[in-house]
Amino acid sequence: MPIKNGNKEFCPKDWPKIRQQILDRAQNKCEICQSQNHAVGERVNGRFEPVSGNKTLNALGKGEVEFCLAREFTNEINHELGVKKLLLIVLTIAHIDHNPRNNSTENLKALCQQCHNRHDAKVRAAEIKSRRQKHQQALKL
Does any domain span residue 96?
A: yes
Across the chain, mean pLDDT equals 81
Does any domain span residue 111?
A: yes
Does any domain span residue 72?
A: yes
Rounded distance between C-alpha atoms, residue 51 and residue 14, angstroms: 35
Does any domain span residue 29?
A: yes
Residue (of 34, 40, 10) closest to 111 by Cα position: 34
Does any domain span residue 86?
A: yes
Residue (of 8, 7, 12, 20) closest to 93 by Cα position: 20
Does any domain span residue 2?
A: no
Residue (of 33, 93, 90, 31) closest to 65 by Cα position: 90
Does any domain span residue 110?
A: yes
The model's confidence at residue 6, banded by pLDDT at 50, 70 and 90, is low
pTM listed for this prediction: 0.72
Q: Say how many domains are in the chain.
A: 1
- Per-residue b or e along 40-57, where b marks 16 or more CB atoms closer than 10 Å to that residue's CB: bbeeeeeebebbeeeebb
